[in-house]
Structure 1
Amino acid sequence: MGFSLFLSSDKSQNENDRDSILESEEINDVNSGHVELNHNNQLFQRNDNIGSSKKNTVHTVNNVVELDETDLEISELDDEALVEKLPPDIAELPKIVRESVTLDDDPTIPVFTFRYVLLSLIFIPPGAFIDTLNSYRTTSAAYSIFFVQVASHYFGKFLARVLPNKEINCYFFKFNLNPGPWSIKENVLVTLTAASGATTNQGTTAISIADLYYNDVTNPAVALFFMWCINLTGYSFAAIARNFLLYDPKFIWPKALMQSSLFNSMRKADFNRADGSKQMKVFFYAILGMCIWTFFPEFIFPMTSSLAFLCWVAPRNSVANFIGSGMGGMGFLNISLDWSNITSSVMLSPYWTLFIQFVAFVLSCWVLIPAAKWGNLSSFKAGLMSNRLFTAEGKIYPTTELMIREGNHIYFNETAYEIHGPLHMGAQKAWTTFFDYAAYVSAISWIALFGRDDIIDAWKKFKTRYWKGKKSENTTKNFTSISETYTDRLNKIQSVYPDVPLWWYGALFSVTFVILITIFATGHMFIPWYTYLVALGFGAVIVVPLGYLYAISNFQLAIGTFNELVFGLMIQGKAGGKHPASASSYGAIAGDAWYRAQYMLQDQKIGHYMHINPRHVFWSQLIGQLFGVPFNYLALRWAIDTKREYLDGTITDPLHQWTGQSIQGYNTMAVQYVLVGPTRLFSTAYNRPIPLGFLFGAVAPVVIYGLHRLFPRAKFNLWNVTVFCAAMSTFYGNLSTGYVSQIIVGTISMFYFFRYRHKVWARYNFLLAAAFDTGLNLAILLIFIFFSAGKQITMPNWWGNNADSVERCFAI
């Protein structure tokens, strides 16, 4: 297969685009168009000859922007010959951006309103609760932010009709209950607030490990402040990368683009645009269809979640069952019809990303696993697809015996270690750890080689903006220099709004620093205070490389294993910090420095696409966190109190869902790195090759870069080592189904339709992705309410819900 399949455009696509343009009734010519600022720095847009059948005009009256209801219809002008007709500042925008965003704005629309606050407080609790529960499941799809996006829009319109136009005076501030028609900008801000608060929290991992495996219950107040502060630290770290990755149009942030596309479809529908109304009908039908269907794989007909064809042929053959099963087997030719095993990422990520991930899955599950099981790849045969630790004889390692408690300290039990011997990982766990290490290092190596020019260019613009720019009389304020350093239309529009001052991020970091250092210095959350400083340092280093990867590919790298290793190296031989949960406390800090920075940057990019004041976006993130974290904690307590026997392994969940796979994996790493220690762990011949993953991660991008320089037409630059290593580090022990389905859906969406039916793709792809996720999560919520919230109701066993094996793989 040639590398040309990854290219986003070719001759057939250009011909298709040209046909789309000729068929368009809304665009006949584009001769001129530009954005200017009046003397009060307010935007007005003049498009003198855009469209002969519809003309878009934006002008100012008494320094207030007025907009017609039509948008600029320029998204289909993408043929190389025709794109020259676009104004230069529009032509600078990538094609996929021009198809999804609007290029007009009204800065006078009220955004930070009472309606916004009320709806935010309504939509955060269910999301924070559900998303936290998902972290204890084998498969999950995050609480659909698209549901919030759509539902809040219609709730907002309802509030605009029923609330009185009344001003409320609260001494220190005043606000109007209903300042006018509901706006899409309020809708955006509600969604961003929910995106911040209606998510899970990294801090739940350490708290869960301590409770589930070691019966140590964290003080609720300490837990809440720890969970708040690690996330807010990450938001403050967004300042490190935003000037490199936010303003430049080439960093499209695919998920931000998808959400913007949905916002603009709703906006068109509000204006009674035929295309917008049709899109929204498709969106709602897709939600309904997916919601109804999800009841089958998740409750009524679980067999459809993993169609193991080889098991049907030989249901009692152990070899065929192991090869074909997607629940504890290789998942060969296994198809899943459960959207939770597919998710919308396959309709957002570039096809090269999906292809690399599938190649990694094939290599890991269909090549290495049989080589380890039946070949000579691994000398240790026990626990092949398990993330537990074993003795040399293949028995589950009694890790609790490695601990000696003395007061608040936990020490390593040398005697027990001598009795039970070195720890052994299953073969799959060993190579996933190897590639975990490689992925982290390769992210830095990759950006140094392939992203160097982009980062250097962004740094030069940053210097111009914050140093040279301030010397000019015309750039006394930060925000006015954005449109001078970045000249595209979106940045010109956004330059109307004041940017977030850097000192806001500094103040946020300072507050969280004081609280966290106090928590650690007083002996809470298991880690020595000095390791917190190291966590901040590693978090700061990785923000730009991982943000770069996510901004261009929608691929988010999990970095937990590396962080736990660093922590283990710091504390081995020390008296304090030996509690196994300490590694996850450290990892939550170092990890959230990147994860939450990414959330902040992505939401700022949505604000950029939707023309929202960046300061409003900043405060929306803080409001979401302050309200969401308590519900994260409530969900944690519910999961542990009601699902403990599944989560700690006492009883096996028949659907292999409430396995606590993630928590169990972190506990395994904790025992390795905290109790045993990296030096002792990697001293055995079996484990000694694993740290070579660092070398692989550093060298492999250099090899790819060399091949790219030698053969530039072969597109070796698309073979991203970080994506490959991260996919190779995925643990498939509990679930290996869904990956064939992912590449099938991804090929249809991101290859065939993107390349050969691009007009249809541009109109419906992002909407369907959002609708499918929304329908899935709505169904999971309804299943929870109807069958789990009160009395537990289970589906009766039948052919499609066999009590022994829902896949009908009876010999595995």
Structure 2
Amino acid sequence: MTGYVDDGGHQSQPQPHSHIDVTGEDGEAAAEESPIEQVRLTVSTYDDPSLPALTFRTWFLGILSCVLLAFVNQFFGYRQNQLYVSSVSAQILVLPIGKLMAATLPKKAVTIPLTGWSFSLNPGPFNLKEHVLITIFANSGANGVYAVSIITIVKAFYRRSLHPVAAFLLSQTTQMLGYGWAGLFRRYLVDSPYMWWPANLVQVSLFRALHENEKRPKGGHTRLQFFFLIFISSFAYYTVPAYLFPSISTISLVCLIWKKSVTAQQIGSGFKGLGVGSFGLDWSTVAGFLGSPLATPGFAIINILVGFFLFVYVVNPIAYWSNWYEAKKFPIISSHTFDSTGQPFNISRILNEKTFHIDLNSYNSYSKLYLSVFFALSYGLSFATLMATISHVALFHGKTIWTMWSKTTAEKAKKATDIHSRLMQNYDAVPDWWFYSILIITFALSIFACEGFGKQLQLPWWGLLMACGIAFFFTLPIGIIQATTNMQPGLNVITELIIGYIYPGRPLANVAFKTYGYISMTQALMFLGDFKLGHYMKIPPKSMFLVQLVGTVIGSSVYFGTAWWLLSTVDHICDTDLLPDGSPWTCPGDDVFYNASIIWGVVGPLRMFTKQGVYPEMNWFFLIGLLAPVPVWILSRKYPNQKWLLLINMPIILGATGSMPPARAVNYITWGAVGIFFNFYVYKRYKGWWARHNYILSAALDAGVAFMGILLYFTLQSYDVFGPNWWGLEADDHCPLAKCPTAPGVVMEGCPVF
């Protein structure tokens, strides 16, 4: 699992250790079926090559889904309770719309003037291949554009100008660059039957379920009726936490009882403290930062909650009240940076206004950079998580990965295939020159974005080349890990460390290098994972390529346009000191990204995590993470009948709080409670209902919140109408003292001096 503190919790969802049946190469099953048991049980071996795929319905519904999801996710990305709407919502919604279009649109061919080309608005019944391609379109809109955070911190936090063309090129090239070399690895990571991409089997199952003929149960509802019932309820209810009573999003009972105690509020605040006795009555509190708990495997929920309780309720209180790293000078939980007196770190005192990089004389005469002990330990845990993921994969999945890779290379030598690869031979493959063209064009545009426009992004050409080299080098090994275990070790910490040591003192160079080095690899793997889904669903490869390419360009453009529009039109966006009461535009994720740019970029790891800084001990977490999975592995080998040992996942436990900050304790508490209820109690007692309705319930709740949030903004909040002026209007948990330091003599506005 990868979830690091500087990117707002980009976390994978690893699967439990499961037995993978790999039939021998010479076996009859391997000749006819997939060698992977899970694939044999899930993926259909039937294909109808005559079904139309890239139809008018595909383009219309696909582009519409892509635009809507990109707009919604970026729109909510700046708000107090972020909301992520996945492509599953579109996957469910477009099915009835597609069938309606098939029933109503004329079948007569439409000719494009001056070209002689023609197409049909209605080529027949709405089919599975159209549905898959529309979902791939939607997925392009649902996947965020990491580079937008760079644009946000420049404009909203550093308050500097950024050329819109440079910003646009940055958002496009970071998303597209990895597609260029993805084509080089597709013969290994897509064509090979041993690279099975377990996460795709969930999508395959959902597609098959949605396209089965469904009869309404007696006294019940169809899936679509259930979706709209929950959607309308969620849509209506969200007026309460979003407009009438924002305080209901986080209710901290301890603070309502002990209104003058700093310690009590530190313990009880779900927003700025440990969250004991805190909860929220808002779906965006539940799903806003950690994703929907309904769609998270039960074993992962337990591992995350174990990690959360250990870190937040054991390690952090010990560290804070023992005053590690002068912890009491700072808030108990904060993502901000501080100086040695406990005041917010004044970045303008050390940053040269003209060159926009560190002035070492000013830094040496001012103060070292301090963090809350929670934030410092979060970085240590991010180091541990990276190493634990590598160690865990090597110990628990190393043999499987090696077996599958050996079979993959042997298969390539023999040109052997399984049934799915043979069925895909009915379609033309994507020419290699398509991938090379993308690589050349996007790399040239990346150089132009970094070196042009007065070098506003600070990253020189050699830095871009190094970032691309790192991403390219890791794409295949990490792709093998993800394609066999569903785990993706992240490169964000490593890329920050490398550029932070080599090219310190430049915040934008650091975040740009991280984005090109980290995101281009994840985009390459997303491209390949979607290609494998198309492989399983027998989608023509050229159609898949076009949809992914067009979807990414459109999605990135909408993310960029939405961000630029909000940054230009919402007064004081991201500035919590100047925003009016009730305003949701607090940008919690970008606030963390901004502070990370100071830590890794301006000050740099040399002056943070060595003897020159305050936190050299954090480097021990690399060793802790490397060794952490070993005891679990030894116990699982010693007691093979104790299957529960295989569900202990140290990368998830160590990385559990990777979303904190910007996620808060209340988000984890409510997310965990809802997840346990549905994935354990409901799953065990009402398994039929769970199988039929669980994912649809999740998608409907997300969609209702999203549409009401947008409606409220355009009708009321864009006109600075934020609801009735009363106690419950504050988007806060009424724990003002939770942010206060407790060290003697430290002065902070609104806090008592001890």
Q: TM-score w.r.t. structure 1 length?
A: 0.78
1:110 maps to which of 52, 63, 75: 52
Partner residue, 2:9: none
* 1:92 to partner: Cα distance: 5.2
2:400 maps to which of 454, 465, 478: 454
Alignment of 1:97-496 (within 5 A): 98=41, 104-160=46-102, 161-169=104-112, 171=115, 173-239=117-183, 248=193, 251=196, 253-254=198-199, 256-269=200-213, 278-343=222-287, 345-381=292-328, 382-406=330-354, 409-469=355-415, 481-483=416-418, 494=424, 496=426
Whichever residue aligns with residue 639 of structure 2, its letter is F
Q: Do the aligned partners of 1:243 and 1:458 also contact (CA within 8 Å) in 2? A: no
* 1:621 to partner: Cα distance: 0.8
Whichever residue aligns with residue 143 of structure 1, its letter is V
Task: Provide the secondary structure at the position in 2 that maps to 1:175.
Answer: strand
Partner residue, 2:629: 701
Whichever residue aligns with residue 699 of structure 1, its letter is L
Partner residue, 2:659: 730
Q: Do the aligned partners of 2:79 and 2:587 also contact (CA within 8 Å) in 1? A: yes
Q: For the residues of structure 2 that align with 1:211 and 1:708, how far apart are their CA atoms?
A: 51
For the pair 1:719 / 2:648, whether they are aligned, the reply is yes
* 1:627 to partner: Cα distance: 1.8
Q: Do the aligned partners of 1:211 and 1:217 also contact (CA within 8 Å) in 2? A: yes
Comparing 237-246 with 458-467, which one deviates more in the overlay? 237-246
- Name the larger-Rg structure: 1
Task: Provide the secondary structure at the position in 2 that maps to 1:412.
Answer: coil
Q: Measured at CA, do residues 180 and 346 of structure 1 come closer, stay the same or move farther in structure 2, by a change above 3 Å? A: same
Q: Do the aligned partners of 1:266 and 1:280 also contact (CA within 8 Å) in 2? A: no
Partner residue, 1:746: 675
Q: For the residues of structure 2 that align with 1:796 and 1:361, how far apart are their CA atoms?
A: 36
Q: For the residues of structure 1 that align with 2:275 and 2:484, how far apart are their CA atoms?
A: 30
* 1:620 to partner: Cα distance: 0.7
Task: Provide the secondary structure at the position in 2 that maps to 1:337.
Answer: coil
Whichever residue aligns with residue 530 of structure 1, its letter is W
Whichever residue aligns with residue 109 of structure 1, its letter is L
Partner residue, 1:766: 695
Partner residue, 1:596: 523
Q: Do the aligned partners of 2:156 and 2:573 also contact (CA within 8 Å) in 1? A: no
* 1:357 to partner: Cα distance: 0.9
* 1:394 to partner: Cα distance: 0.6
Q: Measured at CA, do residues 648 and 313 of structure 1 come closer, stay the same or move farther in structure 2, by a change above 3 Å? A: closer
Q: For the residues of structure 1 that align with 2:81 and 2:189, how far apart are their CA atoms?
A: 31
1:515 maps to which of 428, 432, 445: 445
* 1:624 to partner: Cα distance: 0.7
Comparing 290-299 with 396-405, which one deviates more in the overlay? 290-299
**CA shift digits 1:360-393 (9 cap, x unpaired):** 2112222233223323444332143222211111
* 1:648 to partner: Cα distance: 3.7
Task: Provide the secondary structure at the position in 2 that maps to 1:482.
Answer: coil
Q: For the residues of structure 2 that align with 1:167 and 1:680, how far apart are their CA atoms?
A: 65
1:658 maps to which of 546, 571, 585: 585
* 1:432 to partner: Cα distance: 0.7
Q: For the residues of structure 2 that align with 1:747 and 1:553, how far apart are their CA atoms?
A: 24
Whichever residue aligns with residue 570 of structure 1, its letter is I
Q: For the residues of structure 2 that align with 1:345 and 1:216, how far apart are their CA atoms?
A: 36
Q: For the residues of structure 2 that align with 1:744 and 1:245, how far apart are their CA atoms?
A: 37
* 1:109 to partner: Cα distance: 0.9
Q: For the residues of structure 2 that align with 1:710 and 1:768, how far apart are their CA atoms?
A: 41
Q: For the residues of structure 1 that align with 2:396 and 2:432, how far apart are their CA atoms?
A: 28
* Matched pairs, number: 702
**CA shift digits 1:398-418 (9 cap, x unpaired):** 112212245xx4443122112
Task: Return the structure number with greater relative CO, CA threshold 8 A, min gap 6.
Answer: 2
Q: Do the aligned partners of 1:207 and 1:217 also contact (CA within 8 Å) in 2? A: no
Partner residue, 2:746: none
Whichever residue aligns with residue 423 of structure 1, its letter is L
Whichever residue aligns with residue 769 of structure 1, its letter is S
Q: Measured at CA, do residues 355 and 653 of structure 1 come closer, stay the same or move farther in structure 2, by a change above 3 Å? A: farther
Q: For the residues of structure 2 that align with 1:121 and 1:365, how far apart are their CA atoms?
A: 43
Q: For the residues of structure 1 that align with 2:215 and 2:162, how far apart are their CA atoms?
A: 54
Identity %: 25
Task: Provide the secondary structure at the position in 2 that maps to 1:327.
Answer: coil
Partner residue, 1:525: 457
* 1:541 to partner: Cα distance: 4.5
Q: Measured at CA, do residues 780 and 252 of structure 1 come closer, stay the same or move farther in structure 2, by a change above 3 Å? A: farther
Whichever residue aligns with residue 666 of structure 1, its letter is F
* 1:580 to partner: Cα distance: 1.6
Q: Measured at CA, do residues 377 and 549 of structure 1 come closer, stay the same or move farther in structure 2, by a change above 3 Å? A: farther
Q: CA RMSD of the aligned region, Å? A: 3.5
Q: For the residues of structure 1 that align with 2:181 and 2:584, how far apart are their CA atoms?
A: 34
* 1:88 to partner: Cα distance: 9.2
Q: For the residues of structure 2 that align with 1:551 and 1:351, how far apart are their CA atoms?
A: 21
* 1:750 to partner: Cα distance: 2.6
**CA shift digits 1:720-747 (9 cap, x unpaired):** 2322232233324663212222222222
Task: Provide the secondary structure at the position in 2 that maps to 1:704.
Answer: helix
Whichever residue aligns with residue 369 of structure 1, its letter is N
**CA shift digits 1:552-603 (9 cap, x unpaired):** 787766653432222111113xxxxx54222111111122123323432443
* 1:192 to partner: Cα distance: 1.1
* 1:427 to partner: Cα distance: 0.6
* 1:524 to partner: Cα distance: 4.9
1:607 maps to which of 534, 547, 551: 534
* 1:609 to partner: Cα distance: 4.6
Q: For the residues of structure 2 that align with 1:521 and 1:508, how far apart are their CA atoms?
A: 20
Comparing 308-317 with 526-535, which one deviates more in the overlay? 308-317
2:500 maps to which of 564, 568, 572: 568
Q: Do the aligned partners of 2:384 and 2:624 also contact (CA within 8 Å) in 1? A: yes
Q: Do the aligned partners of 2:248 and 2:282 also contact (CA within 8 Å) in 1? A: yes
Q: Do the aligned partners of 1:754 and 1:761 also contact (CA within 8 Å) in 2? A: yes
Partner residue, 1:673: 600
* 1:323 to partner: Cα distance: 1.5
* 1:665 to partner: Cα distance: 2.1
Q: Measured at CA, do residues 731 and 654 of structure 1 come closer, stay the same or move farther in structure 2, by a change above 3 Å? A: farther
Q: TM-score w.r.t. structure 2 length?
A: 0.84
Q: Do the aligned partners of 2:293 and 2:674 also contact (CA within 8 Å) in 1? A: yes
For the pair 1:783 / 2:727, whether they are aligned, the reply is no
Q: For the residues of structure 2 that align with 1:636 and 1:444, how far apart are their CA atoms?
A: 35
For the pair 1:586 / 2:513, whether they are aligned, the reply is yes
Q: Do the aligned partners of 1:435 and 1:693 also contact (CA within 8 Å) in 2? A: yes
* 1:113 to partner: Cα distance: 1.4
Comparing 425-434 with 411-420, which one deviates more in the overlay? 411-420
* 1:334 to partner: Cα distance: 2.1
Partner residue, 2:569: 642
